[in-house]
Amino acid sequence: MRLRANLVIGGTLLTAVTAIAVTAAFWTPYAPRAVNLRRRLNPPSDLHWLGTDEFGRDVLSRLMVGAETSLTVAAVTVLVAMAIGVAIGLLAGFFRGWTDRALMALNDALLAFPGILLALGLLTVIGPSKWGIVLALGLAYAPAVARVVRGSVLSLREREFIEASRALGNSELYTLWRHVLPNCVSPLTVLATSMFGWVILSESALSFLGLGVPPPAPSWGNMLSTARPFLESATWLSIAPGVMIALCLLGTNLLGDALRDLLDPRT
Amino acid sequence: MIGYAARRSLAAIPTLLLVAIAVFLLMRLIPGDPAQLMLGDAASAEEVQALRRSMGLEAPLPLQFLHWAGAALGGNLGRSITNGEPVLPLILSRFSVTAAIVLLAVALATLVAVPLGMLAAWKQNRATDLAVVAFATLMLSIPSFWLGLILLLVFGVKLGWLPVVGFVTFAEDPWAAAAYIVLPVATLVLIELGGMTRMARAATIDVLRLDYISHARAKGLSEFTVMRRHALPNAFAPTLTLIGLVLGNLLGGIAVIETVFTLPGLGRLLVEAIFQRDYPVVQGVMLFVAGIYVVVNLLVDLAYPIFDPRVTAE
């Protein structure tokens, strides 16, 4: 019962946000960067459903484009983290010995930077931009992927079907790709779903700090950051972007719970 | 027990070393000459050359690292580029603000989350459980800085109960300081409650399946005694590990909360240093926070056997 509810509610929320993002790629009520100084800080009305910001820009339009930005950044970041993490994890788990020890030592050192600290450090080097965030968060989350993949590989490599593949004369690389990797898919799906949520949260936090998507391009994080000085005079600016982030994360968390129940019957 | 503690403590040393290497190399990845970066564009070629020599930048990279790490061990993390202050005292003064908020928030969140999670597990799959899990999942999905803004809006702006901007240290005026700290702490407690409650619930469900719980119940103990005396210690152990991770995550991500509440903490120091390209400060804060995180995890592992003695048997 709970599984079904999680799946339906989580799926609906994420589909809705995706639909908003796709729509924004083709159409928004107003141009998201169009400044209109005669309509500065207008409260929600028939003309502007979610009001206007300090430059008279339409909040709804910016919110929609923000969805596009957040989802793109999150999806590409997860792919980057997965690609790097899977490569490191497979190599470490399969070749063991010194390769494993060296890669895992590096991995553990990177995992010792809590939260977004590593991403903050990497952004110092890369510089803040949309793709800078993708690279910084991708590198920061790769060690977690590597750890999961290595664990699965270590438990898989002694199993009979891997022995059988070797005995048939298949190369190590072929065995790795054809037989080991497909068995890592279900833990990786669960991880990728949670990671999608972490990235949306981290991206909005970094943009809120001014280290993420640079204005005037809209993102939920930088919209909240510019809303802070207008907390008293223009309350609506602080509400909508936060609701969007929360709905996105709620969808991801519920879907993640559902996937964990489906793919990992242990719990 | 002593063997376990010694082994675990020794294992932290290579991690700390690798963290130091990672921080050192990260800052060397920045394009350009470090001496030039530290002095800024206005510096003359002679000044840059002199600093290069005093920083030991002519030496091979491993020697440079040893030089830097040796100084760091002695408490010398260099000087800030922007105001010339030594980095370590700067970090420590800002850390006192952050540490107070984070420790208070984690302690309060634990006190609420563990009983709440155990209650949900005890009532597994009933209305109480569903309500607790729904609340925890909702809290897990709200960004901390947004919750902070909303609390500020309600209690600071609309109701006017608490100040919206500013900070006073405890040494200056304890009552005023408390007023500034209430909202940030409340925000962090609510946010961390989500993950911790879910963890406490999952751990308790695992424990309640075990035979010794059935045995305790068969002895005729009351449900309250079974939960408190028998389930709590074993269910608390995994939550303790999570508390270590949460402490680290809060230290790593505290900048957003400090930005919302305009608190002069460690996170703000790091973000300001990133904006000003103040590399010695960035390097210092990263080393400091990662170091604290390693030590906190070590302490958690050392405390673990108190709740679950099986781990030392290995």
Give the tens place of pLDDT for each residue, A148-159: 888 888 888 778
Model confidence band, residue A252 (pLDDT cutoffs 50, 70, 90) = very high
Interface touch B153/A235, C-beta < 8 Å: yes
| CB-based contacts of B236-240 (< 8 A; 24+ apart in sequence) | B236/B114, B236/B200, B236/B203, B236/B307, B237/B203, B237/B304, B237/B307, B237/B308, B238/B199, B238/B202, B238/B203, B239/B110, B239/B113, B239/B114, B239/B117, B239/B196, B239/B199, B239/B200, B239/B203, B240/B300, B240/B303, B240/B304, B240/B307
Mean pLDDT of chain B: 84
For chain B, the first-to-last Cα distance in angstroms comes to: 10
More confident residue, A189 or A54: A189
CA distance linking residue A179 with residue B99, whole number of Å: 48
Q: How many Cβ atoms sit within 10 Å of the Cβ of residue B228?
A: 14
Residues 44-103 of B with CB under 8 A from A: none
CA distance linking residue B135 with residue B106, whole number of Å: 18
Facing A209 at nearest CB: one of B22, B23, B255: B255
Average pLDDT over residues B233-242: 82
Interface touch A245/B143, C-beta < 8 Å: yes
Q: How large is the angle between the packed helices A185-208 and A117-126, nearest 10 degrees?
A: 70
How large a percentage of chain B has pLDDT more than 90? 18
Average pLDDT over residues B57-68: 80
3-state class of A193 per DSSP?
helix
Average pLDDT over residues A133-160: 88
Inside any domain, residue B26: no
Q: Among all residues of chain A, which has the CA nearest to that of B195? A: A253
A232 is written with which tokens? 């008293």
Instruction: Give the pLDDT confidence score for residue A76 in this predicted structure.
Output: 95
Most confident of A185-189, B46-50, B268-272: B268-272
**Measured CA angle at B181 (ends B96, B191), to 5 deg:** 100
- pLDDT of residue B313 exceeding 60, the answer is no
CA distance linking residue B226 with residue B208, whole number of Å: 10
CA distance linking residue A69 with residue A119, whole number of Å: 18
Model confidence band, residue A99 (pLDDT cutoffs 50, 70, 90) = confident
Q: Which residues contact B107 (CB under 8 A, 6 or more apart)?
A: none
Instruction: Give the pLDDT confidence score for residue A1 in this predicted structure.
Output: 62
CA distance linking residue A121 with residue B282, whole number of Å: 7
Interface touch B14/A105, C-beta < 8 Å: yes
Q: Among all residues of chain A, which has the CA nearest to that of B258? A: A209
Chain A residues closer than 8 Å to B248 by CB: 114-115
**Where is average pLDDT lowest: A53-67, B52-66, B72-86, B218-232?**
B52-66
Average pLDDT over residues B229-240: 82
Whole-Å CA distances, A194 to A256, A257, B273:
6, 9, 31
- pLDDT of residue B169 exceeding 80, the answer is no
- pLDDT of residue A30 exceeding 90, the answer is no
CA distance linking residue B67 with residue B55, whole number of Å: 9
CA distance linking residue A239 with residue A232, whole number of Å: 12
Inside any domain, residue B247: yes
Facing A253 at nearest CB: one of B141, B248, B271: B141
3-state class of B173 per DSSP?
coil
Chain B residues closer than 8 Å to A144 by CB: none
Q: Among all residues of chain B, which has the CA nearest to that of A118? A: B286
Of A214, A213, A200, which is closest to residue A242 (Cα–Cα)?
A200
Inside any domain, residue B269: yes
DSSP A36: -
Inside any domain, residue B40: no
Q: How many Cβ atoms sit within 10 Å of the Cβ of residue A251?
A: 24
Q: Provide the residue range defining the domain that includes B127.
A: 91-277
Interface touch B253/A115, C-beta < 8 Å: yes
Tally of domains in chain B:
1
Check if B259 contacts A (Cβ < 8 Å): yes
Inside any domain, residue B304: no
- pLDDT of residue A265 exceeding 70, the answer is no
CA distance, residue A34 to nearest chain B CA (Å): 26
3-state class of B164 per DSSP?
coil
Whole-prediction pTM: 0.88
CA distance, residue A242 to nearest chain B CA (Å): 6
Check if B274 contacts A (Cβ < 8 Å): yes
Instruction: Give the pLDDT confidence score for residue A152 in this predicted structure.
Output: 85
3-state class of A43 per DSSP?
coil
Instruction: Give the pLDDT confidence score for residue B242 in this predicted structure.
Output: 85
Facing B22 at nearest CB: one of A110, A114, A225: A110
- In tens, the pLDDT along B295-310 reads 888 888 888 887 777 7
- pLDDT of residue B68 exceeding 90, the answer is no
Average pLDDT over residues B258-271: 89
More confident residue, B158 or B124: B124
B26 is written with which tokens? 């990260």
Best of B15, B144, B145, B261 to disrupt the A interface (most A CBs within 10 Å) is B145
Interface touch A246/B30, C-beta < 8 Å: no
Average pLDDT over residues A242-249: 93
Inside any domain, residue B33: no
- The single residue listed with the structure tokens 């936090």 is A205
Q: Are B204 and B117 contacting, i.e. CB atoms less than 8 angstroms apart? A: yes
A107 is written with which tokens? 């991995």
Inside any domain, residue B107: yes
Mean pLDDT of chain A: 86
Instruction: Give the pLDDT confidence score for residue A267 in this predicted structure.
Output: 47
- CATH number, domain containing residue B198: 1.10.3720.10
- In tens, the pLDDT along A190-241 reads 889 989 999 999 999 999 998 888 888 889 998 998 888 888 888 888 899 9
Instruction: Give the pLDDT confidence score for residue A248 in this predicted structure.
Output: 93
Instruction: Give the pLDDT confidence score for residue A129 in this predicted structure.
Output: 84
Interface touch A114/B290, C-beta < 8 Å: yes
Chain A residues closer than 8 Å to B15 by CB: 108-109, 112
Inside any domain, residue B266: yes
Facing A120 at nearest CB: one of B130, B274, B293: B274
- pLDDT of residue A111 exceeding 90, the answer is no
Q: Is B144 left (phi over 0), alpha (psi -120 to 50) or beta?
A: alpha
Average pLDDT over residues A36-57: 81
Average pLDDT over residues A56-73: 89
Could you check whether the bond before residue B238 is cis, i.e. omega within 30 degrees of 0? no
Best of A3, A200, A209, A248 to disrupt the B interface (most B CBs within 10 Å) is A209
